[in-house]
């Protein structure tokens, strides 16, 4: 039920239009030793990060490496359809992003879906807080996976 409520709050047109200013477009993916690497840019923060995508025949691992978060903070994150510039609904919940005392976080999630998707695009969102309640639902960071 939480994912359904999150999808409405996170992917709804009126909600995202008010809370998701357009970040700079992510550059094309760059090769990394573990797969593809994308930029995770801050929207309402100076935090920055990388998204590493590693594919397998029937699954995809998404790892978020972030610095500059508030120390000991917790953030809900998802994979959405669409792009940071044209938001869509939630496709996959990712593991909670939990910053350490220095504001660094590393969260890894394996989803049972093949990347790249057969049609459309995906993007990753890190929200301002540990749940989708009130201002916690605001996009803190966004990164296109294309």
Q: What is the pTM of this model?
A: 0.78
pLDDT digits (tens, 9 = 90+) for 68-122: 999 999 999 999 999 999 999 999 999 999 999 999 999 999 999 999 999 999 9
Whole-angstrom CA distances from 69 to 8, 42, 54, 139, 144 are 26, 10, 24, 13, 20
The 10s digit of each residue's pLDDT in 36-75 is 999 999 998 999 999 999 999 999 999 999 999 999 999 9
**Considering only the top CATH level, what class is 2-144?**
mainly beta
The dihedral built from the CA positions of residue 123, 126, 128 and 133, taken in this order, carries a sign that is: positive
């Amino acid at each position: 039920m939480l994912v359904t409520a999150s999808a409405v709050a996170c992917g709804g047109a009126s909600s995202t239009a008010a809370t998701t200013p357009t970040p700079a477009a992510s550059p094309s993916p760059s090769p990394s030793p573990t797969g593809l690497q994308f930029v995770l840019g801050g929207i309402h923060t100076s935090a920055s990060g990388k998204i590493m995508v590693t594919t397998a025949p029937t699954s995809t691992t998404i790892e978020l490496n972030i610095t500059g978060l508030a120390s000991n903070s917790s953030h809900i994150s998802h994979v959405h359809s669409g792009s940071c510039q044209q938001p869509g609904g939630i496709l996959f919940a990712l593991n909670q992003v939990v910053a350490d005392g220095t504001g660094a976080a590393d969260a890894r999630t394996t989803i049972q879906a093949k990347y790249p998707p057969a049609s459309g695009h995906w993007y990753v969102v890190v929200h301002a807080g540990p749940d989708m309640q009130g201002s916690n639902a605001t996009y803190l960071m966004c990164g296109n996976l294309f």
